[in-house]
């Protein structure tokens, strides 16, 4: 584990603007945070609209359900964190629960860990992987799902997430279904808590009800949802741009 001591902290050189200058910096930072918060709420609302649209389409199209464990593909939990994962020589980005929102990946705050040689074959993410939240303090957030895109492809992922890879299922369709009310109800009656953290396991994941639909029917549902999905992506892009502006502006103000 990498540590710092009191003497290093005391030797740290920091800018010291006057009180009025400090207030301006804090106010600017707070303004950016308010805007980012508003955009995140907007993205979540658009994702909720997307879920609502998907729900109505599922009611029209979905018939027989099977268990997810019978659907061809793989289900893999992520790597366990610990002191041995403190970045030293081979730091690699990884996704946490906070990065996997309902219907989209938040790539604005990527943490890093120490990667080992055996990690990539087992834990590396690829475009089209579906991530499912395995543990959360809020039971309503258990099982929320999102599809990995180019921005986070190649990263690793932590053990409070499951990674799904399908053979004959469109990833966007899978995420829409996993965020739908049928699956939400399934988790609500089955997730357990330990020390305030609600969790699910691989056996419960394999038992998730999943629709038997052909690729064409899956494609029709995802295409119908694509316009709303693009509005979610637009909000995400705005968040990323404002984060960059925030970092630049605050750095400039601190540098005087």
Is 104 in contact with 164 (CB distance < 8 Å)? Answer: no
Residue 177 has pLDDT above 50, yes or no: yes
Can you tell me the distance from the alpha carbon of 110 to that of 106, in angstroms, rounded to the nearest whole number?
9
Residue written as token pair 């009800």: 209
The tens digit of pLDDT for each residue in 83-139 reads: 888 888 889 999 999 999 988 898 888 999 999 888 989 999 999 999 999 988 888
Is 146 in contact with 175 (CB distance < 8 Å)? Answer: yes
Q: What's the CATH number of domain 34-246, 3.90.220.20, 3.20.20.330, 3.30.450.40, 3.40.190.10?
A: 3.90.220.20
- The pTM score is 0.71
The tens digit of pLDDT for each residue in 1-24 reads: 456 777 777 777 777 778 888 888
pLDDT at 1: 45
Higher pLDDT, 140 or 60: 140
In the chain, what are the domain boundaries? 34-246
pLDDT band at 256 (very low <50, low <70, confident <90, very high): low
Can you tell me the distance from the alpha carbon of 241 to that of 106, in angstroms, rounded to the nearest whole number?
13
The tens digit of pLDDT for each residue in 191-250 reads: 877 667 788 899 999 999 999 888 998 998 888 777 767 777 777 778 888 888 888 887
pLDDT at 78: 93
- Long-range contacts of the stretch 125-128 (C-beta < 8 A, 24+): 125/95, 125/152, 125/153, 125/154, 125/155, 125/156, 125/157, 125/163, 126/153, 126/154, 126/165, 127/153, 128/165, 128/171
pLDDT band at 47 (very low <50, low <70, confident <90, very high): confident
pLDDT at 204: 93
Is 132 in contact with 157 (CB distance < 8 Å)? Answer: no
């Amino acid at each position: 584990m990498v540590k710092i001591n009191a003497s290093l902290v005391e030797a740290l050189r920091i800018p010291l603007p006057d009180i009025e200058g400090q207030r301006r910096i804090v106010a600017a930072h707070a303004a950016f945070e308010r805007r980012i918060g508003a955009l995140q709420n907007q993205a979540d609302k658009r994702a909720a609209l997307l879920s609502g649209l998907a729900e109505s389409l599922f009611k029209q199209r979905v018939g027989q359900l099977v268990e997810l464990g019978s659907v061809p593909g793989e289900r893999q939990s992520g790597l366990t964190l610990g002191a041995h994962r403190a970045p030293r020589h081979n730091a690699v980005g990884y996704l946490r629960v906070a990065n996997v929102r309902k219907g989209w990946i938040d790539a604005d705050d990527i943490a890093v860990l120490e990667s080992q040689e055996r990690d990539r074959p087992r834990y590396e993410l690829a475009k089209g992987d579906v991530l499912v939240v395995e543990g959360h303090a809020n039971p309503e957030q258990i099982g929320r799902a999102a599809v990995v895109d180019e921005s986070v492809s190649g990263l690793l992922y932590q053990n409070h997430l499951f990674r799904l890879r399908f053979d004959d299922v469109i990833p966007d369709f899978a995420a829409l279904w996993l965020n739908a009310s049928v699956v939400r109800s399934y988790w609500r009656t089955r997730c357990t808590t330990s020390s305030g953290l609600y969790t699910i396991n691989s056996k419960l994941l394999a038992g998730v009800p999943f629709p038997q639909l052909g690729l064409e029917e899956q494609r029709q549902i995802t295409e119908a949802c694509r316009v709303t999905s693009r509005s979610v992506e637009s909000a995400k892009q705005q968040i990323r741009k404002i984060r960059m502006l925030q970092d630049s502006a605050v750095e400039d103000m601190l540098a005087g």
